[in-house]
Amino acid sequence: MSYLFKPKNYQPILNLQQTELGITKIKDFFQSNLSSELRLRRVTAPLFVLRGTGVNDDLNGVERAVNFPIKDMNDARAEVVHSLAKWKRLTLADYGIENGYGIYTDMNAIRADEELGNLHSLYVDQWDWERVIMAEERNIDFLKMIVKSIYATFLRTEYLVSESFPEIKPCLPSEITFIHAEELRRLYPNLNSKKRETEFTKKYKAVFVIGIGGPLGDGVKHDGRAPDYDDWTTIAENGLAGLNGDLILWNPVLELAFEVSSMGIRVNKTALLRQLEMEGKLSRLEMYFHKRLNEGSLPLSIGGGIGQSRLCMFFYAKHILVKFKPVFGLNKCTKTAKN
């Protein structure tokens, strides 16, 4: 059963008015810095896309998209987006974005199958971004460079918060630590993937876990990824597969590993075919997005999403998502930590 978790002796540092002011500060500051750091221009994104085009993100492949019929299109069904992973790549092509530049947007989604609690809501808000790259940049060193650039934006945002609200103390390390999901499995062979993240992130405070989507050495995936955006099969480093990953911070309020961003180098034609075959989804090659990628009309790219409410929750030491409003009795299921 889903519930909200309230740490023992938790007291909010900021009141509601301060929190609203702080959200505006972070959103204005962070997106401006992210844009400058990665050379991104802002674009306007759709709230829904047509079903059957392959444009919507199907996340782990089991989540149901909220959908509705469109009267003036003979009741063709539209789906509220889960994320804009594929739409952004189409937009890079349609806008003629040059190599080394990209786009970002405010992504607002509804995910009806989320397990509601401190970290998940029916409503998702994030900065979705995508940048054009060259073939020679499809490597782990380039991925790490981009991750470090994004993390530098986190550090600057943390400084802004501490300057604006001195009662909030900085806690992020100066550098982020990288580890592959397979290395993490070998380090903690008796723990599941989430507990591995918790143990490692507790030690290093800010980590990027590489290679999420494909089976690890024990045949189990660290976590699920759709087969048609991130490249999680290309051999990258130390003989390990994956050009994608999650950026995770240690949350001192909830005392857990706290994912704030998922990102990766996107599939090229070879990786797309390989991953669709692995997942038994070659039929997707008949969809609009996949046809365009297969025919070579989409640029190579890197991209991801950064949770807006999650960043605000982390930097303002909140125990739940700052956008959260109790729904469907969830507020009746609050529990308090025992430790």
Amino acid at 328: F
Strands 206-210 and 244-251: antiparallel
Cα 229 to chain centroid distance, Å, stands at 13
pLDDT for the residue numbered 55: 83
Residue 246 is a catalytic residue: yes
For residue 264, the SS3 value is strand
Per the structure block, which two tokens stand in for 42? 């802002």
Residue 162 is a catalytic residue: no
Residue 255 is a catalytic residue: no
What DSSP state is assigned to residue 215? B
Per the structure block, which two tokens stand in for 60? 């782990």
Query: Tens digits of per-residue pLDDT, 8-61?
Result: 888 889 998 999 999 999 999 999 999 999 999 999 998 888 888 888 776 666
Q: How far, in Å, CA of 139 to CA of 301, rounded?
A: 12
Per the structure block, which two tokens stand in for 185? 């499995």
Contact partners, residue 71, CB within 8 Å, separation at least 6: none
pLDDT at 322 over 70: no
Q: How far, in Å, CA of 62 to CA of 71, rounded?
A: 27
Which range among 109-118, 178-187, 221-230, 262-271 shows the weakest confidence by mean pLDDT? 109-118
Q: Give the count of beta carbons closer than 10 Å to the beta carbon of residue 326.
A: 13
> Is the Cβ–Cβ distance between 268 and 277 less than 8 Å?
no
Query: Tens digits of per-residue pLDDT, 66-119?
Result: 888 999 899 999 988 877 889 999 999 999 999 999 999 998 888 777 777 777
pTM score above 0.85: yes
Residue 138 is a catalytic residue: no
From the candidates 246, 266, 309, 310, which is the catalytic residue?
246
Q: What is the CATH number of domain 5-42+82-336?
A: 3.30.930.10
pLDDT for the residue numbered 112: 77
What are the extents of the domains in the chain? 5-42+82-336
From the candidates 35, 83, 121, 126, which is the catalytic residue?
126
Which residue, among 271, 242, 263, has the nearest Cα to 181 in the 3D structure?
A: 242
From the candidates 31, 35, 57, 309, which is the catalytic residue?
57
Helix 140-164 to helix 308-315 angle, to the nearest 10 degrees?
A: 50
> Is the Cβ–Cβ distance between 77 and 51 less than 8 Å?
yes
Residue 126 is a catalytic residue: yes
Tell me how far CA of residue 313 lies from CA of 22, 258, 260, in angstroms: 10, 10, 10
DSSP line for 290-306: HHHHHHT-S--EEEEEE
Q: In 62-119, where does DSSP find H-type helix?
A: 85-94
Residue bearing the bigger pLDDT, 225 or 7: 225
Judged on CB neighbours under 10 Å (0-12, 13-18, 19+), 241 is: buried
pLDDT at 328 over 60: no
Q: Give the count of beta carbons closer than 10 Å to the beta carbon of residue 121.
A: 20
pLDDT for the residue numbered 61: 60
Q: Which helix (H) or strand (E) holds 177?
A: strand 177-180
φ and ψ at 236, to 5 degrees? -120, -50
Q: Position of tokens 């909220």?
A: 66
What DSSP state is assigned to residue 56? S
Residue 57 is a catalytic residue: yes
From the candidates 83, 121, 193, 262, which is the catalytic residue?
262
From the candidates 35, 193, 259, 301, which is the catalytic residue?
259
Tell me how far CA of residue 148 lies from CA of 208, 292, 330, in angstroms: 10, 31, 37
What DSSP state is assigned to residue 2? -
